[in-house]
A and B are shown apart, each in its own frame.
Chain A
């Protein structure tokens, strides 16, 4: 089914044929009639694009402060002028109750409570409306409502999309940043600047770090970025950059700069060169997480960590002293254990640089900590990743000393060599298929045999030496503490050649992309040998590791005083380790992207990565002539300066686009349609403004107000145009069915999130907790990729506002989906509105609606109990903000008598009157 407004005949503008041009030209030009003719995110513009040169296009001209028509509210002056030109009259004022409901939904996305409504209606002060506006603008719910609009534009995703669609656990800080910014009425120029370059502005703030999450919160093709083929990798990156540049161009400038990736823009004066100048601005931005703590917080954390590390080092010296005493005492009892050097490794990690999470050969990740010669792996997610290997690895030996935090753990690995994407690996795994046993793990178990070997018994303080030897002849042998572990075997499949630059070593992780791949405990003295070690060499390596004596053997040589001192040192060690762990817990991180210094950017002929043309320098759009688009930066300018200069260019008050685009968006979210219908396309091919003078008045006043978004709300919602009735009038419908001249307030269906939030509000179940990690109403399974299985629960965090729902690409909620909640990866300037049977099914049958109906019935009963009123009356007041007519009341009485109050409440929640705002 179609929304009637989308069923109308194609507008003349849409029929404009242009079929004679080539396919290439057609990219932005195929404007002939669609078979079915709806264009919900763009009502067609009212007039033909001008024949004048594109650079003369209205949107590129400076904002002119027009003269306000005489008398009354400035907005109404402009609106009335157009109305009378078209033989239309404004509608009478809306009923106060309708207006209050409209204002609540518009500003905070929630309905008023009956008390709030009554208080307003019985308030006799003349400025009661203005006071209500202020109260709502000051509500923290305001940011949740308007932040959600912004997240639509930002294509905010909390999963990667594409093949893996993995969760982004730390994307939510950007959502909170957006909500906070709206609530603070952060000046819009600052809001823009932060999202472009906040991380390179002085002083560095956590909001500054979070802002540029905008650039990377879309989909990310992890597989495409990790694959072996360089050309395809480059294409993947070009696609990623188009997504990034189009979000910048469309959101802030209302320009489809992405149309100029392969050729000069066919309508707008955007040469292909400008696309690549813009690309040069952002070429150093990559996907990934980064810490969000400000400089002061980081300093203090580092100081705490250093102190804990110093204390640990001191105790370690103590422990080492007693180890040495014990070792010296034990050696004479086992003279056959010489302190000989072991075989020479190809790569070795001893973790002897205290306090550092990196060393020359890799980096500790995910909460792994390097200290006192060991890699501490406190919890799932922690591991160490080496730099890519430098030469091809064929036959090999992997070796590590391991301390397991618990013997019940499954599937982690002490050491693994894997391809960069983790699709192929050889590893020493623990408890993967067989609980408690070591195995030679491999991709798809291709080179893995289950072993007839003892289960591990080492305690949480005991170090175990494990090694696996892969011979060229397909022999695989595992050793534990220098002795063969299980039977050596021949694999059916040869080990892959791990190619130089295409593989690395990970410690504590089986392989990237696997389920349950982490080992918890600690690792020390890990090594890789580029050859198959003999049994004797493994023995030597084991002995050289310094752990050749059992705990009992070591203790046996000590006096009882020495033993006590040694044990005390170990107790102190435990505590010091824990203190260091606590102090080293990394600060919060967010999916705000990482930065690299990019290579100079080339223009690509036809956008083809194999056809680089001249080098371009970072710059703005030359179509904006009022300010220079030349940043005076060389092609190899520092990454930070590129985005800083672009932020300056974007927020320059003489740049006519950002202010116009933003006031138009605000207008659109209030009236359902912008003064420019194509709110992310102000270009030549976009819609003309219906009220150009009004648009410019708003834009110039917006800048003068210090870019205050709340000020624009105040202007709009206090206008007569906003406060008029939404009733249709047949005369006016004939002249202007789409209400583009605003002869009435256009009624609107609530958006998906608002439907859900409003139901939770009226049922009394809404959890109003602000911010923080998203709630996840789904279970997941992981097998290389993440799959989502939504569930419905009505307790605790699951009753939070929908803006806090984990916004994953393939885990969409069927209920929200049916109400046109957009695909997270789509930049959505305006929601489509459909009316479908799937919506009706969701409202009729979903357990969510059933539960809210029951909650509403309980609330209506309770309200009635307090006031002595009828629960039906209470339910009408709560849900619709009005009393029933006598006929309605009688009908409801009958229904409640026959079917019960919850069933009647169900009907109220399904009703058109509830789902629509008037």
Chain B
């Protein structure tokens, strides 16, 4: 169990945001009275269905569709079939519908670790982590199109407007640190994923479960976090004291309406967030060894390493779900894994941002003992075709019929491989895993029965897993 920082730690060890501290004190004193009257505060952590293995989740989502065939799914048969036709292999779900000939991986593969897991030369750092990873080589997605497939991976549905997994977890499990959002999203500094903030919507769940997308550039991580620059801490405290008096009077004059007391409390939490969020994102104090581990100062990762380190800090401080996007949607040259034109060129560039920081995050969590009760998820929306896109072209088209994701940490087998694709990585070979299965398993590890985490909306008791999903018990440790 990692050493969770206490609330007092934030309030006492932070140089900035004195106004916030003062207010926190002020309001908590007021709140104590209000709660004494109303008979208790609000507890937002909810009892799970059964004993959880994981208490928090970090998900790395690689936008664009990472080629399973050039990363973790070694296919010697594809080497042998290089240049042969796809004919007779069954329906091709490529987006552009111009499959060429089979193409062997652009990279040599080697075996690593005690588990002897195959990893391509593209990912030397992650190759060093394989004994901690639990691969699923038989993933399938419903759509061959980025956004619906990304929506499915994030929300279980291919359409707009459904709550994403982080929102479900916030709804289902609440938060363990009210001073931080329960669900934080760290978009790639190079750009947002396709669909932007739609990807972390709470859909029809209440707005408090929405993912809070941190701005990764300069300035405050979230909108309206900072008090206006013109206000001194004392001035802000005085204004808030007046407001607190007004609202307390109002609540007292309207007994029986708990919402009015809750509003008072929301200002207290807001004031705490003003302190705790800057503290959480303040990575300047991280020791050189940690900075080096993530490659923080290496321009090659284009700012992505900072988000990985940030994720660890947020998890440490009780954020329930952190989602890190690797890659955005569009750019020229491309800023995601969508290697249509030239797989090798594209994946080289993307791996340079992703490999080391993600490996560092896994190692860092492990060193701190956090991997014991943190679930690490690495995913992408679909894989890439074993055939080229177009004749004699070096790229690969989208491929939802088989691809690889991996888990690590709490409750999953380490150095393990679940399921397989067929001999050329075209369809699933054994133990097909659907996105609902994947989600059901993640919820299970968090102590939630995916069939019982429901929310009524427009006539249906909605679930993350719709009407599908089986927990993949084979990979549970």
Contact = CB atoms under 8 A, between A and B. Distances in A.
Interface string B204-217: 11111010100000
Interface in A440-473: 444-446
Interface in B333-350: 333, 341
Nearest to A788: B196
A229 B95 contact: yes
A223 interface: yes
Contact of B207 (A228, A246, A680, A820): A820
A296 interface: no
Given A1-B178, A35-B453, A911-B243, A239 B159 contact: yes
B103 interface: no
B148 interface: yes
A906 interface: yes
A834 B94 contact: no
Contacts of B203: 823, 826
Contact of B143 (A232, A784, A840, A903): A232
A682 B11 CA distance: 51
B266 to A, nearest CB: 5
Interface stretch (B113-121, B368-376, B403-411, B462-470): B462-470
Interface string B313-345: 000000000000000011111000000010000
A453 B440 CA distance: 61
Interface in A9-49: 14, 19, 23-24, 26-36, 38-42
B250 A826 contact: no
A810 B196 contact: yes
A815 B243 CA distance: 20
Nearest to B394: A493
A25 B45 CA distance: 31
Given A35-B448, A826-B204, A840-B269, A787 B243 contact: no
Interface string B381-414: 0000000001011000000000000000000000
A916 B258 CA distance: 13
B143 A728 contact: no
Interface in B150-192: 158-161, 171-174, 178, 181, 191-192
A228 B95 contact: yes
A873 to B, nearest CB: 15
Interface in A823-838: 823, 825-829, 832-838
B269 A829 contact: no
B457 A41 contact: yes
Contact of B250 (A232, A810, A911): A911
Interface in A294-348: none
B367 interface: no
Contacts of A231: 91, 93
Interface stretch (A136-144, A409-417, A843-851): A843-851
Contact of B458 (A239, A246, A496, A502): A246
Contacts of A678: 456, 459
B256 A729 contact: yes
Contact of A444 (B144, B205, B332): B332
Contact of A785 (B225, B249, B330, B390): B330
A35 B333 CA distance: 45
Contacts of B249: 888
A228 B96 contact: yes
B289 interface: no
Interface stretch (B104-112, B130-138, B234-242, B351-359): B234-242
Contact of B263 (A35, A250, A835): A835
A166 B269 CA distance: 36
B451 A728 contact: no
A845 B19 CA distance: 13
A817 B210 contact: yes
Nearest to B436: A23
Interface in B275-315: none
Interface stretch (A125-133, A274-282, A370-378, A891-899): A891-899
B454 interface: yes
Q: How large is the interface on B (under 10, 10 to 19, 20 to 34, 35 or more residues)?
A: 35 or more
Do most interface residues of chain A lie in helix, strand or loop, or is the interface mixed? Answer: loop
Nearest to A419: B96
Contact of A817 (B160, B192, B207, B454): B207
A38 B46 CA distance: 12
Contacts of B205: 832
A912 B147 contact: no
B224 A814 contact: yes
A445 B95 CA distance: 21
Interface string B254-283: 111111101111110110111000000000
A730 interface: yes
B14 interface: no
Interface string A833-870: 11111111110111100100000000000000000000
Nearest to A38: B206
A834 B206 contact: yes
Contact of B225 (A833, A839, A845): A845
Nearest to B257: A728
Nearest to A903: B239
B455 interface: yes
26 contacts: A1-B266, A4-B262, A29-B461, A35-B47, A41-B204, A161-B198, A163-B145, A163-B194, A227-B95, A227-B96, A228-B97, A229-B94, A256-B459, A256-B460, A785-B194, A809-B195, A814-B223, A823-B201, A836-B207, A837-B269, A841-B224, A844-B240, A845-B224, A888-B246, A898-B238, A908-B246
Interface of B: 42, 44, 46-49, 91-98, 142-148, 158-161, 171-174, 178, 181, 191-192, 194-198, 201-208, 210, 212, 222-228, 235, 238-240, 242-243, 245-247, 249-251, 254-260, 262-267, 269-270, 272-274, 329-333, 341, 390, 392-393, 448, 451-461, 463, 466-469
Interface of A: 1-7, 14, 19, 23-24, 26-36, 38-42, 155, 161-165, 218-219, 221, 223-224, 227-229, 231-232, 235-236, 239, 243, 246, 250, 255-256, 259, 419, 423-424, 444-446, 493-494, 496-497, 499, 502, 678, 680-681, 683, 685-686, 727-730, 733, 747, 749, 783-785, 787-788, 809-812, 814-815, 817-823, 825-829, 832-842, 844-847, 850, 888, 891, 895, 898-899, 903-904, 906-908, 910-913, 915-916, 918
Given A163-B194, A239-B158, A259-B460, 13 more contacts: A7-B42, A19-B451, A35-B452, A228-B94, A444-B333, A678-B456, A681-B459, A785-B195, A829-B458, A838-B181, A838-B212, A907-B242, A907-B243
